[in-house]
Amino acid sequence: MTLSINTPALLFPAISLIMLAYTNRFLSLATLVRNLHSKYLNDDKNSVIIPQQIKNLRTRLKLIKNMQAFGVLSFISCIVCMYFIYIGQEFTGEIFFALSLILFTGSLFMSLIEIQISTKALELELSDMELNDPSLVQYIKKKFDK
């Protein structure tokens, strides 16, 4: 199989866009952590849900860190692949291209896991509101009944 320099070059925009999405997730998560910290310091030290949220956020932070690391390693592997193709070492370039694809797939897989965990975090938050403020549910029902 002959791998041209154009094939790994196609991965550049995909990796760049996914890294941008991961950065946005990280920034959103940082905001959530700061808000939770503020909530904890101000009024909710005895909340049952905060320890669960902290555990969830820690797991998500680790996943996002690993997603970004795999994305960067995929990007670097793609660059190395292009270099080897450029100097005429196609076989070595193919190995680095395969490595790049594997790393990119690992990054996307971790992203899927992080999405599942973030959904659980939202369900946890919703369950807390339902338990503590039944009037919220009534308010929403009134809004949709109109």
CA neighbor of 103 nearest in space, from 142, 129, 67, 128: 67
The pLDDT tens digits of the residues spanning 14-36 come to 888 898 898 888 888 888 888 88
pTM of this structure: 0.74
Q: Which residue type does 86 have?
A: Y
Q: So what's the pLDDT on residue 117?
A: 87
CA neighbor of 80 nearest in space, from 22, 5, 146: 5
Q: So what's the pLDDT on residue 39?
A: 76
Distance (Å, whole) CA 16 – CA 121: 27
The pLDDT tens digits of the residues spanning 53-82 come to 888 889 999 999 999 999 999 999 999 999
Domain ranges in the chain are 6-145
